Each structure stands twice: as structure tokens, then as C-alpha cells.
Amino acid sequence: MDTYRELSIGIPKEYESIRATAHRFAKEVMRPAAIELDRMADPQDVIAPNSPLRQVMKKAYGLGYHVAGIPVALGGLGLDPLGSHILHEELAWGSVDLSIAIGVAGFPAMIAGLSGNPDLYETIMKPFIEDREAKFIGCWAITEPNHGSDQLMVGTPEFHDPKVKGEVVARTEGDSYVISGQKAAWVSNGTIATHAALYLRIESGSPNAATGMSGGGVAVVPLNLPGVSKGKPLNKMGQRALNQGEIFFENVRIPRHYMVVNSDTYEQQTMATLTMANGGMSTAFTGLARAAYEVALDYSKERIQGGRPICEHQLVQKRLFEMFTKVEACRALSRAVTVYNSSSGAPSLQHAIAAKTFCTQASFEVANDALQIFGGNGLSKEYPIEKLFRDARASLIEDGTNEVLSLAGARHILAESDGHGHA
């Protein structure tokens, strides 16, 4: 289906053409590439020099999709939050895994941009913005082998528990930081990334230093520095077009100003990043839910049982209508949260978490219902729904498990209702 109804009235004309271009790219380039990548038995082939992953990334950068929200004056596409939502829903409709690879690529540049430091602008932000060949690929390196949910419990007492400490550590040495430790195999773009937004613990002698996970820092780290090495690409169940893998740091030296966020602002900055990332996930999985709904709708018109297309059977109709309702609810919530959080001076983490948990759960349910509509064919790799189902399943864990995110979200609601900024 090439035109899915838009309920927002008065969308600027240019956004319709952005949507149309993105839809064509998603349909003709991203979706076939993601299916091909999904079927590769060895994830090493996914990242081969001329693989469909590399080609899609190159074309997406060529279209400026990696810098969609960056102002035109700086070299981006200059999309406002609504335009960005439209674009990213469309890309994820084509392939949620590849759309996440494109989205996460900008994390180090975004962190570098927080510093206002001219050297970081020249060496990190500018090359990323100007890149049209996917030579500069970023990652968000936060999860560690022994710290998954621990890293995302922002605003909760657990986050301040001195017994819970991250394992990638930076220590000061003159004008540098020296970093050692390991990030988990779950880092998206992990083995293809050229740069990391690295979440770590800063060793500090100060008695006032924040404790536990809250006492961290965020550094921008070029991954060609001496002492950096990578693991094998992760072999996983869904989103197989999204490369993931471990990154190891052994006495990696970075200039002091590459530590953009220190322990004073770490928790606040992690909240801001999680707010942005969870909002992005809600948009992406709106796209996936829509894709699953649409393939099931088409199939229900083709498949004949009992002498008529299955869409004429009432139970199938009821299922289709419930799926449609969930897609609309996902789009409305994810769009409202994206626009609010990107425009407001006080973005809301609990709303971003609500959008992420709701849209990923709904996309999983829609994909599950779609698979049921396909009957036995739904389980076959010949049909697209089997991949969408696996991709949606991963989202209930990605960027924080929905359970743990809900706990953090509840803390924020309670704190706000007590009149405090956060718990």
C-alpha cells in the first residue's frame, strides 16, 4: 500500500514529497536489502565491504537521512520534529533494523555537539554532517556484559547505589583520560562503528563524586585509537540487518576535552539521551506495526478459504481492525511525544518511556496477529511477516526492557506528582 492515510491536517507540502521519497527508498532499497541481510547465516557477511548493509548506509547518507534534524545552515536536512517523525516512520516501515543503524550512527556527533568545543566540532561533528558515503558511523556504547538494565535506571535510588558500578573506567593522566574495559555485544553498529559515544565510569578521588551508576561520564571515542578492538558480529534472532558487537578498550588515551559529560551532569544527560532514544524507538516501531498490518491486509484479500478471500470472514475482519487501531494509536502517541520532546525546553522522560513501551508492545502484538492471518505461511521464510515478527520481538528488550523502563517511568510520575523534578 503506497498511501497510508495521514490524519494530521495541514502537513506542509514539502513533507509529502519527503515522505514519498523516503517511502520509495524504504520500499525499493531498504526492505529488499534487509531481507537479503536477514537470510545471511554468518553475521560476518552482513558487514562485508560491499554488503547490502554498506550500500544502504551509503545511499542513506547520500540522501542526508543521517542528519535529517540538523539545520540546513550546518549541512543537515533541517527537518522539524514532525518532518523527522514522518521520515523515520517511513524508513522503519521499510526496515526497522536498517533504520536503527542509520539513527544510532549520529550518537557520537550529538554528544560532541553538547560540548560547544570548536575542536570537537571540527573533528567529530563536521565530518559526520558532511559525510555522504557512510565513512563516519557512530554507536551508543552503554551496555556492558554485567550491566544492562543497571545502566538505564536513571532517576531511581538503584542508580545511586554505590555497590553497582560500571566496568568501563576512565582515569585521569595529565591532560588525558585513559580508558579500559569492555562494552557488551549488544552495541548497535558495534563492529562497523568508527566512533563511539562511550558511557563509562570516571575514577575520582573526590569525596563529593556521585555514586554508583550515577557517577559516570560520556566520552566521544574514535575507534581507530591504539588499544581499541572489536568482537565478532553478534548472531541473533531478530533485526539481523542491524550489526551489533563488543568493543574492548585497553588503556585507550583520549584528550581531556573528549570527555563531554562528567559525573556532575551524567544522570541528567543519560535521562536526556534515553528520552530521545525511547522516542525514536516509538517512531521506528510504529513503522514496523504499519508494515505488519499492511502485509496482512494485502494477504487477507488474496488468500481464499471457504470459497472467499479470508478478509470476508468476520473474525479476520475483527483482527484487522484491532491491528489498524493499534497502528493509529502508535502513530498518534509517538508523534505527539516526539514533537513535544524535541520542541519543549523540558522534555519528558516518562512520556518517551510510555511511547517506547506502548509502541513496541503494540508492534509485537500487531506482528503476531499479522502472522496469524498468514496461517501456516506466516511461519515460512518465503513471506515477509516472519521477519517482522522477530524484529518486533527484539524491541521489547532493545533500549531497555519494557519492564525496567516502566519502573523508571513510574518513579518519574511519582516524583512529579510530589512536586519534585525527579526521584
Ligand X SMILES: Cc1cc2nc3c(=O)[nH]c(=O)nc-3n(C[C@H](O)[C@H](O)[C@H](O)COP(=O)(O)OP(=O)(O)OC[C@H]3O[C@@H](n4cnc5c(N)ncnc54)[C@H](O)[C@@H]3O)c2cc1C
User: Residue numbers of the site for ligand X (CB under 6 A)?
Assistant: 104, 140-143, 148-149, 152, 158, 186-188, 239, 394, 397-401, 403-404, 407
In angstroms, what is the minimal distance from the CB of 128 to ligand X? 17
In angstroms, what is the minimal distance from the CB of 196 to ligand X? 10
In angstroms, what is the minimal distance from the CB of 1 to ligand X? 27
In angstroms, what is the minimal distance from the CB of 405 to ligand X? 9
Concatenated DSSP letters of 105-119: TTHHHHHHHHH--HH
In angstroms, what is the minimal distance from the CB of 208 to ligand X? 26
Euclidean distance between the first and final Cα of the chain, in Å?
45
- Distance (Å, whole) CA 399 – CA 278: 7
Contact 319, 369 (CB under 8 A): yes
Contact 261, 198 (CB under 8 A): no
Closest to ligand X by CB, 62 vs 157, is 157
- Distance (Å, whole) CA 421 – CA 409: 13
Closest to ligand X by CB, 19 vs 246, is 246
- Distance (Å, whole) CA 312 – CA 241: 36
Residue 400 DSSP class: S
Closest to ligand X by CB, 103 vs 215, is 103
Closest alpha carbon to 267 in 217, 202, 203: 217
What sign does the dihedral 207-257-121-181 (CA atoms) show?
negative
Closest to ligand X by CB, 131 vs 399, is 399
Closest to ligand X by CB, 35 vs 297, is 35
In angstroms, what is the minimal distance from the CB of 40 to ligand X? 17
Closest to ligand X by CB, 15 vs 249, is 249
Residue 182 parent element (H or E): strand 176-183
- When CB distances to ligand X are compared, the closest residue is 148
- Distance (Å, whole) CA 328 – CA 33: 27
In angstroms, what is the minimal distance from the CB of 74 to ligand X? 25
- Give the chain's radius of gyration (CA, Å): 21
Closest alpha carbon to 366 in 284, 279, 280, 290: 290
Closest to ligand X by CB, 86 vs 234, is 234
- Distance (Å, whole) CA 141 – CA 52: 24
In angstroms, what is the minimal distance from the CB of 419 to ligand X? 26
Cell of 370: 499479522
Which residues touch 243 (CB under 8 Å, ≥6 apart)?
Answer: 43, 46, 47, 53, 101, 188, 189, 190, 191, 192, 233, 234
In angstroms, what is the minimal distance from the CB of 94 to ligand X? 17
Closest to ligand X by CB, 32 vs 148, is 148
- Distance (Å, whole) CA 328 – CA 422: 31
Closest to ligand X by CB, 285 vs 293, is 285
